[in-house]
Structure 1
């Protein structure tokens, strides 16, 4: 079984890509909505919570764990790899390919404040940005709008425009999406940028990495397309109502108390 978690529903952008790449594998997705969003929490909190979630998913016979959250990856992926005996796949902004492809020498990374301020992102910049200038911008309120299912409301459009519109005057030619919630807002971003600015969503690269690791570790699908969706919130209805919008079909949702 492939397991993945996020603070909320953003990681479903990764779920879609993994399911399309590995359609015969069972996948368990856990949305830690009782603690959402992670972006405003301390590194210590995020590590402790990620370990609790990771240990639960490992106990459910996971063959591999996807940390489908940029904030949790930057804060906790090292701790997860230290404490769990299964392959761990994290997500991070596509700074390397964006910087390599830039012709203007200026790119943008959109992510939560916690991700943008992390040592992991700074290490990516130091290693891959070179002479390219990288503008780091938080998507203020974006996670909350996706969690609420408001992918095209007036407020969502205003919040996206407040971040993206100023970038159009900055001579950037690539935008790396550094939060798994943000791809759900790609249509609104694209309306503002047009086709002249490339958008980097890491979902397909993550799916290829999952496939590669499963093959390396000799893991075989049990042939059961069982998809589990779990929320740590007491009420499952909000998540259940969002699944058709975000992954194209409905599914039962379980509630899990991890306290």
Structure 2
């Protein structure tokens, strides 16, 4: 089955490029279109209604670019809006949720930490998932201002280091052995997080699982790009330099108001 149309991805900003990289590494022949709604970041502090409206707007943008499927590369948008997106649009959606299951199932201390946005931790979908693991102690922490600092290019700032220490120390004190990163921006912070956490604590994000699910949907329902032309387009409605710097790829970033 062949489908030359691109995979569409959107996030509240540049964080979803961590998901894009996993998909691109697994499926290098696929065309992609990435949408960074950085003007409205972070989504985690917005109401459910605002998040749904922004997610619909982003989806319409990608569908107008002929996307064959949509990857909601944002935990907050997934946990708050994916149900509405699937009801409104006749196209496959893949969401991203905190990887609670592998952390809880493999934890030796029966204690795991989750660093996520307020919007994700307060969502109905997230709390339904948490209820399935009542034998595990789950320490939740809102990553206030982390997305904002990443979007502003202040990933290695002193303020970032201080915030991470403040958020992670209670988890360390509680003897977690897994830290779940519940926001697609946070994998970019793994080098700093590793300096703070004890060596035995494993860090989990959802990127690889999302890439494998994307591959599965392409194989079963949509079709792969078998053409010779490969394009990877990146759109942002904010400063394109921030997105360019984090990509590590020589792809053009198109600044466009949407």
Displacement of 1:240: 3.1
Matched position secondary structure for 1:168: helix
* Change over 3 Å in CA distance of 1:130–1:40 after alignment to 2: same
Separation in 2, partners of 1:147, 1:120? 26
Structure 2, unmatched stretches of 5+, are 1-5
Task: Please report the RMSD computed on the Cα atoms of aligned residues, expressed in angstroms.
Answer: 1.3
Displacement of 1:190: 0.8
- Counterpart in 2 of 1:204? 208
Aligned partners of 2:152 and 2:242 also within 8 Å: no
Aligned partners of 2:244 and 2:253 also within 8 Å: no
Counterpart check, 1:101 vs 2:100? no
CA offsets, 1:106-126, max 9 Å, x none? Answer: 111110011111111101111
Matching residue within 227, 230, 234 for 2:235: 230
- Counterpart in 2 of 1:240? 241
- Counterpart in 1 of 2:163? 159
Displacement of 1:241: 4.5
Aligned length in residues: 252
Counterpart check, 1:213 vs 2:217? yes
- Counterpart in 2 of 1:13? 18
CA offsets, 1:97-150, max 9 Å, x none? Answer: 1100111111111100111111111011112x1310111101121101211222
Separation in 2, partners of 1:189, 1:2? 31
Counterpart check, 1:71 vs 2:72? no
Counterpart check, 1:133 vs 2:134? no
Displacement of 1:225: 1.8
Displacement of 1:161: 1.0
Separation in 2, partners of 1:58, 1:155? 38
Q: Please report the TM-score for the alignment, with normalisation by the length of structure 2.
A: 0.94
Map 1:38-49 onto structure 2 (within 5 A).
38-49=43-54
Matching residue within 42, 48, 55 for 1:37: 42
Displacement of 1:209: 0.5
Separation in 1, partners of 2:218, 2:49? 30
Aligned partners of 1:240 and 1:251 also within 8 Å: no
- Between 1:11-20 and 1:50-59, the stretch displaced more is 50-59
- Counterpart in 2 of 1:145? 149
Counterpart check, 1:184 vs 2:185? no
CA offsets, 1:184-206, max 9 Å, x none? Answer: 00111111113211110110110
Aligned partners of 1:149 and 1:242 also within 8 Å: no
Q: Please report the TM-score for the alignment, with normalisation by the length of structure 1.
A: 0.93
Displacement of 1:219: 1.2
- Counterpart in 2 of 1:253? 253
CA offsets, 1:50-97, max 9 Å, x none? Answer: 111101211211111000000000111011111111110000000011
Aligned partners of 2:243 and 2:253 also within 8 Å: no
- Between 1:79-88 and 1:206-215, the stretch displaced more is 79-88
Aligned partners of 1:69 and 1:179 also within 8 Å: yes
* Change over 3 Å in CA distance of 1:155–1:250 after alignment to 2: farther
Aligned partners of 2:33 and 2:232 also within 8 Å: yes
- Between 1:158-167 and 1:5-14, the stretch displaced more is 158-167
* Change over 3 Å in CA distance of 1:228–1:111 after alignment to 2: same
